[in-house]
Chains A and B, each alone.
Chain A
Amino acid sequence: MNIEEQTATFKRWLTEHKGLIFKVVRANAFVPQDQEDLFQEITSQLWRSITSFKKESSETTWIYRVAFFSAMSWNRKEHRHRKGKSALDGAMPNAEFSPEKRDPRLEWLYDQINQMPMIDRSLTLLLLDGYRYKEIGSILGISESNVGVRLNGIKKTLTLKSKAMED
């Protein structure tokens, strides 16, 4: 693959799948500076990964995998990550969105995902994006039954917390 093909593929991925990348970014970073930092990390890994992409999985699965792995690597800055999280308590994340455009329920959902352990965050994003247990298992490298058990727990917790929030 030459550089022109790599560039064209990257631009297309960035245009078509930016929503996916932003979901992973929002689920893993809390303040705008961190979100920009993580976005750069993911795009950088995505750029390098293009030459290894053999089309054995779908583009979306590939991009998810790269984005999750980049987020895990980025998570090494956990100290700053946690600081950002505590600083955001009660504040509104994602400064670029105007408050009237934001759905508070969606903000609540991202907040819940942010509080989960790293692997559970990935599981939840994939579930919410409509992936089947088998596909989730193959992306993360865990058995379908393990995915089922963990996601049942996540679903229960989210439902309970949402009810508590409504009360």
Chain B
Amino acid sequence: MDFEEIQVIWTQQDDQPIFNIDPDRVVTRLQEETRAVHSGNLWLEPLFMLSAGFNVYGSWFRVKPDELTLWGIAFGLVSFVAVIWFFTGFLKRRREALILDQPIRGILESDVVNYRTSNKITWRGIWLVTVPSISREVYRLIMSADPGVVDWSYPELIGFPICTAALILVIRYQSRRIEKLLSFRRQLD
């Protein structure tokens, strides 16, 4: 076959769908998705700020740690979920705001910028959750009557490293996305 024949084969294919689609059902599903994302973001962001504030307060100003252990665990978990949701929500909004009225090269570049920004924010999140707790632990170890003994009743000793590890995984995942986008971008050169 020469290329003209290939083109003829292509143009002769009909518009028969690969599978049946019902535009009404597609619209309903998309509207539900949009509502779910928006309502999710409404309560997650204040929750994130609240839990971040609690981390700082809990790390430095808590007077009787044993009484707050359960609260610490609960807030640690909420904080973990909120941080993850916050960053994915942020990314979703940035992606929705992609300027599509530009060539694919421009869209790819905007997306790379979005992921890089998200990674920067995630790093800030890591500092936010780790610095208060690490500084407090160091302070406590220095001031302790029994220096050098770690008090495992503090839940953040377990919770914060897990949270930090999860955020680092998010960064690694996003970095792989950036690499993939850049590889598409290189194909255009």
Contacts and interface: CB of A to CB of B under 8 A. Distances in A.
Nearest to A103: B9
What DSSP secondary structure best describes chain B's contact surface? helix
Contacts of A90: none
For chain A, which range describes its interface: under 10, 10 to 19, 20 to 34, or 35 or more residues? 35 or more
B106 interface: yes
B21 interface: yes
Contacts of B181: 72
Contacts of B180: 75-76, 78
Contact of A106 (B9, B18, B104, B105): B9
Nearest to A112: B6
A52 B18 contact: no
Given A141-B102, A141-B106, A94 B10 contact: no
Interface of B: 1-3, 5-7, 9-19, 21, 23-24, 26-27, 30-31, 33-34, 96, 98-108, 111, 176-177, 180-181, 184, 187-188
Given A7-B27, A18-B15, 8 more contacts: A11-B27, A32-B19, A48-B96, A65-B103, A69-B100, A109-B9, A119-B187, A155-B3
19 contacts: A19-B14, A47-B27, A47-B30, A48-B96, A52-B100, A65-B103, A65-B107, A66-B100, A68-B104, A69-B104, A96-B19, A103-B9, A106-B9, A118-B184, A118-B187, A119-B188, A120-B187, A128-B6, A158-B6
